[in-house]
Every structure is written in C-alpha cells, then in structure tokens.
Amino acid sequence: MRTPEAIETLGAAMRVGVLGGGQLGRMLALAGYPLGIRTALYDPTPDACAGQVAPLISAPYDDLDALARFAENKACLTYEFENVPLAAAQFLAERVSLHPAPRALEIFQDRLQEKQFLRSVGVPTPTFAPIDPAAPEAALHITGLPCVVKTRRLGYDGKGQGVAHTAQEFHALVQRFQPHPLIAEAFVPFDREVSAIGVRAHDGQIAVYPIVENHHDGGVLRLSVVNPDDALNEQGQARAYLTRLLETLDYVGVMALEMFQVGNQLLANEVAPRVHNSGHWTIEGAETSQFENHLRAILGLPLGSVAPRGYSAMVNLIGAIPPIEPILQIPNAHLHLYGKSPRPGRKVGHITLRTDTREALEQQLIPLMEILSAR
Ligand code: AMP
C-alpha cells in the first residue's frame, strides 16, 4: 500500500500545465485522465473551451504573478498553440520544465526563421525571400511569379496571406499587409498537401505516425485522410525530415510538419511545435493518440505505439454543428464536439471515421460528407 504522502508525490509528478485552453488543450486534458495525469489550462479567455473539462486559470500572458502561480506544483508545462508570447514561455521555463523548449516557439512563430531553419537542416522548402519594405521587388526576383505573400507572424488557417500572379498584385499585397514584416514564397503547383506527426521522448526515442493527406477549404483544414498503404510511408522522406528537426532541436513532445507533394518530392510548408489538427484521427485511429503521446513525452514516460488501427479519415466541423443523430448512425463514426459556440469559420468539432478496409472508409465517407454538405 502507498502512504498518503507517496500518493501525493505521485500526483504531483503527473500534474501538467497547458498554455492555451482551446480544443487542443481540451483533448490533451481528456487524454490525460486515464493515465491519472491532472491537466490545468492557462488562457486569457475566461470561457476557453478546455475549461469545461479541466481547471482553467484565466489571465493575460504578461501577468507574471498569474504565470508564476500557474507554474507551482506542476511536473511540467507545455502549450497548445505556437503564438504564446515568447517572453511568457521563457519566464515559465526558468521555473519549471517547459516542453517543447522556448527555442522551438521562437523559430516556428516566424515564417522566415522557420524556413531558414528548415533549410539549415536540409529539409527542402519552396523558394522564399524576406520582403524588404524599401525594395520589395528584390524578393519577387528571387521567387518569381506566381508567388505567395505572407505575414511572418501570427498567420494561421490561410489568414495573413495572398497569392500574386502579377507584379501589380504583389505590390498591392505588400501594401495591404504593411507594416507587418512579410515573406514571399514561390507558389508551389503541388499534387497534394500532406502532413506528418512525430513525437520525441526525453531519452531521444522518436516515433512518427503514418502520413496524412489534407484537403483545405479557404485555407482551413477540412478533411484529413490516413491511408497506411500510402507510398510516402514507404519512402520515409517525411520521417527523415521530422527526425532531423526533432533531433537538432533536442525537442521533447509532438511536432507536426505540413508539406506539399510535387511528384515524389516533399517540400516543407510549415511546422507546428504542438499537437495538430491533422492528427485528431489518432484518437481512434492509432494505438496511442497524439495527445497521449505528447503527455507521455513531456512527462518523461515511455512513448506508446503509433501504429494505425486500420484506415481513418477526419472531417472538421467548421462554423456550425450539424444534426448529430444521422452522424451517430454511421458505423465507425466518432463525433467530437468542443463545447464552443458556432460562428463562421470557427472549428467547433470533428468527426473521425475508422474502418478496417480502405473500401469501407471510402463507402462510409460518402454519406458523412452528404450529411455535412446538406446543411
Ligand atoms: P499556410 O498558412 O502557410 O499553411 O498556408 C495555408 C494554405 O495556403 C496551404 O495549406 C496551401 O494550400 C496554401 N499555400 C501556402 N503556401 C503556399 C505556396 N508556397 N504555394 C502554394 N500554396 C500555398
């Protein structure tokens, strides 16, 4: 029998604090419960949806007293979105272990640093150049046309970016986004968009989930399809890139790498130093979910298997909650609602389909997409 003190020590060793209280924080908290992991959230928004399932401290990211209180009695801290102010992450990392380390935040918060880092470790990217507001055409000469103009910071789900087909359009975009620092990228005529999710443990063990094919709608992820037989899994390119990124940064936790596939070649578009929307399928579709593996990694526990359980597809629910009865009638459909009030463009939930064969997945996706498009 353990003494009450021993139980308390064990409890403290399993206490995790998550910066950010959105759906990713919520799914991290839910994944922790079966393992006895107690998650608390920190979010400036008092009604952040993760607060429905775990204790939430609501305070601004520059409130050092609140941050210090949040760090108390935690075995470790992590974050569920990469725009946590770097100063807050650094302040916390001085008090308690924070994974992934603030260095990863620093790099991946800025599209220019991100692309330079990817290149420096030999991960190919689209041609890119920083835009100098005094001489923007220099960037255009490097990327050529068409190109994509993006804000270096705080862009997500296709926000803060636009495609230029002519020099006039390029200059108009530069004008529109100023005074934000900008980057230009060559427009990639990709065959498809894919992502890979990897996790690295304290002891350096790395595991990578099968590749996912992603379909976006207006810049927002709509559908992810996981086919364990995908030829990219055989090539191991994505695995090699992720391994290089994780090892170079001495990274601990889950990392997602979004890529463009052109022929047989993968070009890195974006890195997320956190659990990722294109990994939600792992809750039902893999032996261990990305959320559980992230918690295991940051707590210094052994990683779980990333082996897929058959074939999976994940559909995001964006802007509205569909009628749930017909969805629940679809065999192998798993509904997740985040407890958020719907508004246009907002991710309010997702559905994962998991089947034993590819044919069954394709068959069941048809009625599901019909239900969702009938709204
Ligand atoms: P991002 O915010 O960088 O992930 O971009 C959002 C979406 O814009 C991507 O998922 C792509 O569909 C598209 N996109 C971004 N950059 C490029 C590019 N260089 N070439 C072609 N499409 C792009």
Q: Which of 310, 345, 95 is nearest to 221 (CA)?
A: 345
What confidence score (pLDDT) does residue 71 get?
A: 97
Phi, psi of 122 (to 5 degrees): 80, 20
Q: CATH number of the domain that 158 lies in?
A: 3.30.1490.20
How far is the C-alpha of 16 from the C-alpha of 3, rounded, in Å?
23
Query: Can you list the pairs that 337-340 forms with residues at least 24 positions away whose Cβ atoms lie under 8 Å?
Result: 338/22, 338/23, 338/26, 338/49, 339/26, 339/49, 339/52, 340/23, 340/49
Atom of ligand 1 nearest to the CA of 190: 21
**Where is 148: in which H helix or E strand?**
strand 147-151
Phi, psi of 276 (to 5 degrees): -135, 150
Query: Which amino acid, one-letter code, is at 355?
Result: T
Do 208 and 170 reside in the same domain of the chain? no
Asked which of 159, 186, 213 is the last residue of a domain, the reply is 186
How far is the C-alpha of 201 from the C-alpha of 285, rounded, in Å?
21
Report how many domains make up the chain.
3
Residue 87: inside a domain: yes
What confidence score (pLDDT) does residue 10 get?
A: 62
What confidence score (pLDDT) does residue 9 get?
A: 64
Q: DSSP letter string over 274-286? A: S--GGGTTHHHHB
Do 252 and 288 reside in the same domain of the chain? yes
Do 164 and 197 reside in the same domain of the chain? no
Residue 173: inside a domain: yes
Q: How far is the CA of 11 from the centre of ligand 1 (A)?
A: 43
Do 144 and 265 reside in the same domain of the chain? no
Q: Which of 148, 152, 220 is the pocket-test mutation for ligand 1 (most atoms within 8 Å of CB)?
A: 148
Do 69 and 205 reside in the same domain of the chain? no
Residue nearest to atom 2 of ligand 1 (CA): 158
What confidence score (pLDDT) does residue 344 get?
A: 93
Residue numbers of the domain that contains 135 = 127-186
Query: Which amino acid, one-letter code, is at 21?
Result: G
**Where is 242: in which H helix or E strand?**
helix 237-248
Q: How far is the CA of 198 from the centre of ligand 1 (A)?
A: 21
Q: CATH number of the domain that 250 lies in?
A: 3.30.470.20
Residue 121: inside a domain: no
Write out residues with Cβ below 6 Å of ligand 1.
Answer: 126, 148, 155, 158, 185, 187-188, 193, 216, 219, 258, 269-270
Residue 271 · residue 114 · CB < 8 Å: yes
How far is the C-alpha of 23 from the C-alpha of 83, rounded, in Å?
15
Residue 105: inside a domain: no
Q: CATH number of the domain that 59 lies in?
A: 3.40.50.20
Do 203 and 348 reside in the same domain of the chain? yes
Do 315 and 295 reside in the same domain of the chain? yes
Q: How far is the CA of 123 from the centre of ligand 1 (A)?
A: 17
Atom of ligand 1 nearest to the CA of 189: 21
Residue nearest to atom 17 of ligand 1 (CA): 187
Residue nearest to atom 19 of ligand 1 (CA): 187
Do 138 and 208 reside in the same domain of the chain? no
Q: How far is the CA of 81 from the centre of ligand 1 (A)?
A: 19
Residue 291: inside a domain: yes
Q: How far is the CA of 128 from the centre of ligand 1 (A)?
A: 13
Residue nearest to atom 18 of ligand 1 (CA): 187
Q: How far is the CA of 161 from the centre of ligand 1 (A)?
A: 9
What confidence score (pLDDT) does residue 374 get?
A: 79
Opening angle at CA 128, ends 126 and 131, nearest 5 = 155
Do 270 and 336 reside in the same domain of the chain? yes
Count of other CB atoms within 10 angstroms of residue 4: 7
Atom of ligand 1 nearest to the CA of 186: 19
Residue nearest to atom 11 of ligand 1 (CA): 219
Q: How far is the CA of 342 from the centre of ligand 1 (A)?
A: 25
Atom of ligand 1 nearest to the CA of 159: 2
What confidence score (pLDDT) does residue 201 get?
A: 98
Opening angle at CA 325, ends 322 and 330, nearest 5 = 100
Residue 106: inside a domain: no
Asked which of 59, 79, 98 is the last residue of a domain, the reply is 98
Residue 260: inside a domain: yes
Q: What does the pLDDT look like over 45-63, one tens digit per residue?
A: 999 999 999 999 999 999 9
Q: What does the pLDDT look like over 235-248, one tens digit per residue?
A: 899 999 999 999 99
* Helices and strands of the chain, counted as H and E runs: 14, 17
Do 142 and 94 reside in the same domain of the chain? no
What confidence score (pLDDT) does residue 109 get?
A: 95
Q: How far is the CA of 339 from the centre of ligand 1 (A)?
A: 29
Please, where are the H alpha helices in 109-224?
Answer: 111-120, 137-143, 167-177
Residue 77: inside a domain: yes
Q: Which residues of the chain have pLDDT under 50?
A: none
Q: How far is the CA of 269 from the centre of ligand 1 (A)?
A: 7
Asked which of 170, 186, 202 is the last residue of a domain, the reply is 186
Do 135 and 197 reside in the same domain of the chain? no
Atom of ligand 1 nearest to the CA of 111: 3
Do 290 and 364 reside in the same domain of the chain? yes
How far is the C-alpha of 107 from the C-alpha of 105, rounded, in Å?
6
